[in-house]
A = this chain, B = another copy of it.
Amino acid sequence: MPGKEENFSEWYNEILQTAEIMDVRYPVKGLYVWFPFGFAMRRYVYDLLRSLLDRDHEEVLFPLLVPEQEFMKEAEHIKGFENEVYWVTRGGQNELDVPLVLRPTSETAIYPIFKLWIRSHRDLPIKVYQIVNTFRHETKHTRPLIRLREITSFKEAHTAHTTWDDAENQVKDAVKLYKDFFTQLAIPHLITRRPEWDKFPGAAYTIAFDTIMPDGRTLQIGTIHNLGDNFARTFDIRYEDAEGEQQYANQTCYGISERCIAALISVHGDKKGLVLPPEVAPYQVVIVPIVFSDERKAEILDAAGSLLLRLKEEGVRVVLDDRDERPGAKYYRWEQKGVPLRVEIGPKDLDEGVYTLARRDGNPKSKVRFDEIFDRIKTTFEDIHANIQKNAEEAFKSKIKDCRTFDEIKDATKSGVARIYWCGNPDCGQRIEDQLDLSLLGISEETDDHGSCIVCSKGNSRVSYLARTF
């Protein structure tokens, strides 16, 4: 496999295939097939996301098909999507009376129903989410998990509140929730407020999470939108307040797609294949019996089999690789798949009453006594997570460079992200973007650091980031 920094695209395509994550051979551009192993990763990652959301959201499910008249209601929203929505125009042999849009996102499917659900201030807040497939007719270069025509795994949350301040607080809660999620995946991220010209169509403003991919480009992995009462006015979502007055609801929405899995793969993977935090690894432990001679084979396989059962009972996701193959070939296969911990059992181990442990994140092998294996696995998983996180953060930080001149920016963004001061003025922002052919991610939500705007030199300008983006 090539190095992921040197040739990211090649590395990425190869790992998707060798680790059996996505099959890219589906006969339509931009549509891909989740292999069983890839889908298992998806399941654990989305279980995690669900468990965070379930604390104070309810899961729902709205239809995929949006009738033309609803889709066409919100002017800015249409402008943002009309060039990339798919239209269903025929049913059976007949033209449909009303063309239907495949949701590119579900505001226009959900908000006509919110209008019915919301009558009084006592109905608020509403906090729901769904995990669904959404569609974009991408004309640009498509890429599995990153730029898709069918986004198979879009988690979109939608909330409604009485006041702007409540919506603001919900945005803060969502930022915290997304931070938790990406921290549990050990994915470092920038949190910025997108420039006005790059916000979600129809939103008051957009907060975005970006990570930095191995080639230095940023990948947007989550967005949170304060919609104010824009959509409420369009879809007539009103409530009666405590004084009996009709008021428009204030809304937010926030989404995460399978790009979180693209990030998981790319941020942690290496030349051997996947590296996964134990919490989301489809297999957390692989047991490899080391059999040199027929003489002790049964004994070793017995020990391996009984360890398998014991670990399963403890809820560890474990696989026993007892196929008739060289250990080296087995190591290679399970390293490709990112199994965090390998337990080897050979004749010498049996004699000494120990297992040999090998960690996917690269630390030297160690031995553990039979009766200490559970505790050791638990602490080793924690240690692996911490180590993966540390490595990811170091790589992340090394890719962000403070820049004071356009030349420094050009240099920094060849392989990473430029950290600059920007006054917030769209003229300055768009001038940098156009002149350098880069994207301004927006003003950092994580620091109050101030300096002079890199374009107009205005003081008290805030930290912002420039990058090549996916």
Contact = CB atoms under 8 A, between A and B. Distances in A.
Contacts of A42: 61
A116 B335 CA distance: 25
A308 interface: no
A416 B152 CA distance: 42
Given A84-B92, A92-B83, A43 B27 contact: no
Nearest to A66: B28
A362 interface: no
A150 B35 CA distance: 25
B89 A84 contact: no
A32 B63 CA distance: 7
A31 interface: yes
Contacts of A34: 60-62
Given A43-B59, A87-B88, A93-B83, A65 B112 contact: no
A26 B63 contact: yes
Interface in A91-140: 91-93, 98-100, 102, 109, 112-113, 116, 128, 133, 137, 139
A52 interface: no
Interface in A142-160: 149-150, 152
A62 B112 CA distance: 30
A25 B113 contact: yes
A33 B59 contact: no
Contact of A59 (B40, B60, B62, B63): B40
A23 interface: yes
A438 to B, nearest CB: 26
How many copies of this chain?
A: 2
Interface in A230-252: none
A307 to B, nearest CB: 21
A120 to B, nearest CB: 16
A305 interface: no
Contact of A88 (B26, B63, B102): B102
A31 B92 contact: no
A70 interface: yes
Contacts of A139: 92
13 contacts: A25-B113, A26-B62, A26-B113, A27-B69, A28-B65, A28-B98, A35-B60, A36-B58, A39-B60, A40-B59, A63-B152, A86-B88, A88-B88
Given A91-B137, A92-B137, 20 more contacts: A23-B113, A25-B113, A25-B116, A26-B109, A26-B112, A27-B69, A28-B63, A28-B100, A34-B62, A36-B59, A36-B60, A39-B59, A63-B150, A64-B150, A65-B149, A84-B92, A86-B91, A86-B100, A87-B90, A89-B90
Interface of A: 23, 25-28, 31-36, 39-40, 42-43, 58-65, 67, 69-70, 82-93, 98-100, 102, 109, 112-113, 116, 128, 133, 137, 139, 149-150, 152
